[in-house]
Amino acid sequence: MRARAGALLPGVAAVAIIAAAAWMLGRLIPLIGAPVLALAAGVAIRNTAGLPAVHVPGLEYTLKRLLRLAIVLFGATLALGEVVRVGAGSLAVIVATIVLALGLTALVGRWLRAPSRLVSLIGVGTAICGATAIVTVGPILEAEDQEIAFAVATIFLFNMLAVVVYPLLGHALGLTDRIFGVWAGAAIHDTSSVLAASYVYSDAAGQVATVVKLTRTLMLVPLALAVGIVHSYVRSRAGGGGRVRVDLLRIFPWFILWFVAAAGINTLGLLPEPLVRASGLAGKFLIVMVMAAVGFGADLRGMRRIGLRPFYIGLAASVLIAVASMVLIRLLF
């Protein structure tokens, strides 16, 4: 335990210091917000001073464990009935957005004559939950490590842009907190970027976006199963033989159950109001830390080496899904 804590400390401490500075500066520049400032600081440090290896374990821990902790803490600020209502109410938009993301990405990829597995990976990353979906579906598609890395880098770039662009567009369009929350939760790729963009917009938008995004994340399970079935069928038709195994227990996002449990506990009135407020505040600070860690992962030179074809696919998919999901929301809400 002591050795593990020692390995995590440098990276976690680095993003905590950046988050604290961004938190204070964000109060002076509320239009930009602490998450964007932390993201920019992480990108700047990574691409000037570099990323010491000693920081890597702590950064990975922040991106995975602390992000999930933030989500659970946000759950403690919600009522379970509201979680169910928002999740069920946004399901039609989520499903339609997923189908459109997969279909439009495939069309653009075919037009650009990009490798089919790379296109599929960018498609699932756009449709569900960014890098998590790509890393989950990649082995099912028997994708090469380079294809997975290309897809993750492409989605990563548009996640960073979304944190900045979506709140600006939301204010420019005069979107209500509820509409913006559904839009961010349905259209932005990665969970961390959804929470950062939506809580910069408003607390109410952040609560809606969290529920919508977690409902969308649950769709990873049936999507991975469907990809496995289709890929097995295609392999058998091509004479490859053998079935692709999909470990549903491994890919299920179990932390969502903790989020629901936290909302249930709050609904029962077991949490005093000061603790509920503290949970929300702690969750916001953890998201700022996560954004700093995301920034540290932005290797701009590596992104340039990937080339423009994946970028064009990601750009087209991101723009089309942003527009299509907004149209659906306007029609259904």
Q: What is the pLDDT of residues 15-33, one digit of tens each?
A: 999 999 999 999 888 777 8
User: d(Cα 265, Cα 244) in Å, to the nearest integer?
Assistant: 40
pLDDT per residue over 292-327, tens digit each? 999 998 887 776 776 677 788 888 888 989 999 999
Q: Where are the beta strands (DSSP E) in 146-257?
A: none
In angstroms, the CA 67 to CA 242 distance is 37
Q: What percent of the chain has pLDDT over 70?
A: 95
CB 192 within 8 A of CB 291: yes
Q: CB of 124 within 8 A of CB of 227? A: yes
* Residue 12 reports pLDDT greater than 80: yes
Q: What is the pLDDT of residue 264?
A: 94
The H-or-E segment that residue 212 falls in is: helix 203-218
What tokens does 257 get? 């159950």
Query: Residue 180, SS3?
Result: helix
pLDDT > 80? residue 332: yes
First-last CA distance in the chain: 49
Gap between the Cα atoms of 146 and 90, Å rounded: 35
Please, which pLDDT band fits residue 77 given cuts at 50, 70 and 90?
very high
Q: What is the mean pLDDT of residues 46-58?
A: 91
Judged by average pLDDT, the poorest of 38-52, 83-97, 147-161 is 147-161
What is residue 237's predicted lDDT score, i.e. its pLDDT? 66
Which tens digit of pLDDT belongs to each residue from 128-183? 888 888 888 888 888 887 788 788 888 888 888 999 999 999 999 999 999 999 99
> What count of other Cβ atoms lies within 10 Å of the Cβ of residue 151?
32
Lowest mean pLDDT among 81-95, 132-146, 212-226, 234-248: 234-248
**Residue 325: predicted pLDDT:** 92
Q: What is the pLDDT of residues 121-139, one digit of tens each?
A: 999 999 988 888 888 888 8
Task: Name the packing angle between helices 145-173 and 116-124 (round to 10°).
Answer: 40
Alpha-carbon gap, residue 138 to 150, rounded angstroms: 11
Which pLDDT does position 333 carry in this prediction? Answer: 82
Q: How far is CA 269 from CA 125, 246, 273, 281, 283, in A?
A: 37, 40, 9, 19, 20
To 5 degrees, how large is the angle CA 77–CA 83–CA 89? 145
Residue 25, helix vs strand vs coil: helix
Domain ranges of the chain: 2-47+62-332
| pTM: predicted TM-score of the whole model, two decimal places | 0.89
Burial class, 268, CB count within 10 angstroms (exposed 0-12 / middle 13-18 / buried 19+): exposed
Q: Which residues 6+ apart lie within 8 Å of 185 measured at CB? A: 90, 194, 198, 208, 209, 210, 211, 212, 213, 215, 216
Q: What pLDDT score was predicted for residue 145? A: 74
* CA gap 179, 12 in Å, rounded: 34
Amino acid residing at 61: Y
Q: What is the pLDDT of residues 229-288, one digit of tens each?
A: 887 777 676 665 556 667 777 778 888 999 999 999 999 999 999 999 999 999 999 999
